Amino acid sequence: MLKINQKVPDFELAVFHKNSFKKIKLSQYKNKWLIIIFYPGDFTFVCPTELRETAELYKDFQKNGAEVLSISTDSVYSHKAWHDRSPSISQIEYPMAADQTGEFSRAFGVYIEEEGVCQRATFIIDPSGLVKAMDIHDNDIGRNINEVYRKFESAKYVHDHQGEVSPASWQPGKKTIKPGIKLVGKI
């Protein structure tokens, strides 16, 4: 299982994106932030609420130098069928990856062997490919994508401002901390 500050291997994945099927490699996202959204399965109940919320923030992620990649153990054909039939999923413009073998999910430690699906999990990867944040939920508990976005902004800020750290519930424009010194920035 990958841990914080470990490098993500360069996997190749099949994706459904912009109404077509293609292969991507994680190395394509080098020098960009990558938000990986694992979800249990297509045609489910909680997943479309999270993926729709992610779609609503997708342009904000992109404006701030990040790409989003959602992943389940379903096929790209299932992703397309879901995209074609669901009003929520039809809003998605980011790549939807297929991890049918579970290899990618296993590398991240989120594969449920008995069920053949992945856990509801989020990973924030920095531009050099290091895991900076992870959040894993029981599959019955939905994520707050606004909080994922806030964590991404925090990770990006401390990455870009070496020597500063973000306190609890930090928001852009709020004070940060220089360990051993004092709070810095605007109130």
Residues recognised as catalytic: 47
d(Cα 27, Cα 79) in Å, to the nearest integer? 23
Q: Identify each DSSP E strand in the chain by its residue range.
A: 12-17, 20-25, 33-38, 66-72, 96-98, 111-112, 117-118, 120-125, 131-137, 176-177, 183-184
- 146's enclosing H/E stretch is helix 145-160
> Do 36 and 134 meet the contact criterion of CB atoms below 8 Å apart?
no
